[in-house]
Amino acid sequence: MKKIALTLAAAALVFVSMSCSKKAKTEEVPADFAMFQEEEDSGATWEATGEKLTGNSCNTLAADTGVGVTIVVDKDVSKGGTEVLGADVEVVEYLGEKCLKVSANYNPEIRVAFVFDKPITLEAFSKIKFDVAAGSDDGNGGFGVYNCGIMYADGRPEGGEFPLAFFGTDCSSTQFLGGEWDLVTEGQWGSSVDKTRQVQAIQFWSGIKGPLFIKNLGLVK
């Protein structure tokens, strides 16, 4: 009887040990494993730089205008600051270039705004410049895969968005595409910038699963 009891105790000890081992292995998997797996499945291979995100990250807007900039992904600035959840933005290296990586929010969409500390006019500038790349195959295509909008500070209809003048190019998951666009003559969808109007932000939007990578955003005199 004593021998049977010892055998049962030993078996119980082995079972508990195996259970603890399985639990330890499970706990070693990071909570955000699914997120990294999704990034990997999307085709995007990027490397975090560890660089702290600031309003000057991967853009020259503050230096160009003399006005500070905040990079916003948790609010829809185009609709007056409606809360948006799920997105993040960080400084990474993608395709050998330092850039911003912007992930999709829960809507789902990619939306990031470079918001000026106070509204500005663009009378001193002739062009806007930037480069973008997609982190997923659905980001390969012509203009409309994403858009970049210069957002005015007035004229928003009730329940709608602030007016924007749009600029952009084709988009690719294998290279950065971009350049410079004349503010008055090279807007998309027939839009052009009214340089006398107050501008509050520059916004990038895309419906791809993402992420979207952005670099070299600035204004040219």
Burial 177-189 (b: 16+ CB within 10 A, else e): ebebbebeeebbe
Strand ranges across the sheet with 97-102? 46-48, 89-94, 97-102, 212-220, 127-134, 177-182
Mean model confidence pLDDT for the chain: 85
CB atoms within 10 A of CB 14: 9
Do residues 61 and 116 touch, judged by C-beta distance below 8 A?
Answer: yes
H or E element that contains 12:
helix 2-28
Within a domain: residue 198? yes
The whole-number pLDDT of residue 43 equals 59
Kindly state the percentage of the chain with pLDDT values over 90.
76
CB atoms within 10 A of CB 43: 14
- For residue 86, being part of any structural domain is answered with yes
CATH of the domain at 70: 2.60.120.260
According to DSSP, the residues that pair with 143 across neighbouring strands are none
Higher pLDDT residue, 140 or 12? 140
Domain contains 192: yes
Identify which has the larger pLDDT, 6 or 179. Answer: 179
43: left (phi over 0), alpha (psi -120 to 50) or beta: left
Number of structural domains the chain divides into: 1
Residue 33 lies in a domain: no
* Amino acid at site 26: T
Band of pLDDT at residue 190, cut at 50, 70 and 90: confident
Q: Average of pLDDT values for 162-177? A: 96
Residue 20 lies in a domain: no
CA 24 to chain CA centroid, nearest Å: 34
Nearest CA to 55 out of 125, 95, 112 is that of 112
Supply the range of the domain harboring residue 198. Answer: 47-220
pLDDT tens, residue by residue, 47-63: 999 999 999 999 999 99
Cβ distance 119 to 201 under 8 Å? Answer: no
Tell me, yes or no, whether 214 lies in a domain. yes
Answer yes or no: is pLDDT of 68 > 70: yes
- Least Cα distance to 96 among 215, 219, 217, 200 occurs for 215
Q: Indicate the range of 27-36, 49-58, 111-120, 166-175 predicted with least confidence.
A: 27-36
Question: What is the DSSP-derived secondary structure letter of residue 43?
Answer: B
Q: Determine, yes or no, domain membership for 14.
A: no
Give yes or no for residue 27 having a pLDDT over 90: no
Residue 121: pLDDT band (50, 70, 90) is very high
**pLDDT of 21 over the 70 cut:** no
The verdict on residue 16 lying in a domain is no
Neighbours of 149 (CB within 10 A): 23
Burial category of 1 from C-beta neighbours within 10 Å (exposed 0-12, middle 13-18, buried 19 and up): exposed
Ordered alpha helix ranges (H), 84-159: none
Q: In this structure, are strands 97-102 and 177-182 parallel, antiparallel, or unpaired? A: unpaired
pLDDT(37) > 60 = no
Task: Give the lowest-confidence range in 4-8, 40-44, 159-163.
Answer: 4-8
Please report where in the chains the tokens 């309003």 appear, as a residue: 55
Token code pair at residue 12: 């119980």
Tell me what pLDDT residue 143 has. Answer: 78
